[in-house]
Amino acid sequence: MFPGIPTCVEVSQEVTDYLEGDLPAWRRALTRMHLLGCSACRELVRQFTLVKGAVAGVPPAADDALAQDTRQDLLAHFAGGAPDEPDP
Amino acid sequence: MLRVARGLTGTTASGEELVQETWMAVIKGLDGFQGRSSLKGWVYSILKNKARTTARRDARVTPFSALGPEEADRPVASERYTAGGSWAQPIGTWEVDSPESLLLAQEGQAVVQRALEALPERQRIVVVMRDGEGLSAHEVAAVLELSEANVRVLLHRGRSRVRRALAEHLLGER
């Protein structure tokens, strides 16, 4: 191992700082050097980028879970035995 | 905002209520908004303060204390590394080339949603605010009254857990 260049474990610990741009410039440069020579760490960084994008891409339709919940509540309420009422 | 509100309150019903209260406060307070922060950040600080008031009232306050990482918080299982810090068992490659194809592949979206719901509360709040809602780390820190360093730790752990949930789903990888 070269002195100063982060190990794979260190890269994994700092991957979020790296992607958020929060590493000091020298540390960022050393991390990039590590990544040049380590495909597994490159894949880890790539996966973190995909995760961030995936969370961003979960569509607002996820909030339709609310509509689902409301629907479930209503179904449960009506299934609970309120007698059928004739249509007005 | 609804997702954040649900994240903060823990339930769908409380989340909806919180959003309504927040919007009312926003409408009332808009004249006084001086534009020193972003509008989004300001709205979220109202949201957070209301959640905090409610939580205090319901005695459900969660302290934002920093704890050391559990194994589950790590980006990769420890045993995949050698003692020297190199890969013993490298992680597998995800055969997707974009977040969109990740969400489409094998119910990726459902996996991500479940993984978010399963996150410890503070990690979920930070990940949803930062990655889901697009607030800057600075705004998240301001709204939650955390240091940016603390936000980064929570973000790292939350994203790590979601990654591992996806790795398990896509590759059966633990």
Segment A44-65, tens digit of pLDDT: 999 999 999 999 998 654 444 4
Nearest to B76 among A7, A44, A65 (CB): A44
For A66, the closest chain B residue by CA position comes to B12
Quote the minimal CA–CA distance from B103 to chain A in Å: 6
For B148, the closest chain A residue by CA position comes to A22
pLDDT at B162 over 60: yes
B127, B158 Cβ separation under 8 angstroms: yes
Segment B80-131, tens digit of pLDDT: 999 999 999 999 999 999 999 999 987 899 999 999 999 998 999 999 999 9
- Residues of A whose CB is below 8 A from B7: none
Helix (H, G, I), strand (E, B) or coil at B126: helix
- Check CB contact under 8 Å for A48 and B137: no
B157, B69 Cβ separation under 8 angstroms: yes
pLDDT at A66 over 50: no
A53, B112 Cβ separation under 8 angstroms: no
* Burial of residue A43 (number of CB atoms within 10 Å: 0-12, 13-18, 19+): middle
- Mutation target vs A (from B133, B152, B163; most A CBs, 10 A cutoff): B163
- Check CB contact under 8 Å for A58 and B109: yes
* Burial of residue B124 (number of CB atoms within 10 Å: 0-12, 13-18, 19+): buried
pLDDT at A19 over 90: yes
- Mutation target vs A (from B96, B159, B168, B171; most A CBs, 10 A cutoff): B159
In chain B, the domains with their CATH numbers are 2-57 (no CATH), 71-171 (1.10.10.10)
The verdict on B12 touching A (C-beta cutoff 8 Å) is yes
Architecture of domain A8-79: Orthogonal Bundle (1.10)
Instruction: Note which residues in 32-71 of chain B have CB less than 8 A from chain A.
Output: none
Quote the minimal CA–CA distance from A6 to chain B in Å: 9
- Residues of A whose CB is below 8 A from B90: 40, 43
- CB-based contacts of A25, cutoff 8 Å, min separation 6: none
pLDDT at B8 over 60: yes
Nearest to B81 among A8, A15, A46 (CB): A8
Q: How far apart are CA A34 and CA A6, in angstroms?
A: 7
Please report, rounded to a whole number, the percentage of residues in chain A having pLDDT higher than 90: 59
The verdict on B159 touching A (C-beta cutoff 8 Å) is yes
Q: In this predicted structure, what is the pLDDT of residue B13?
A: 73
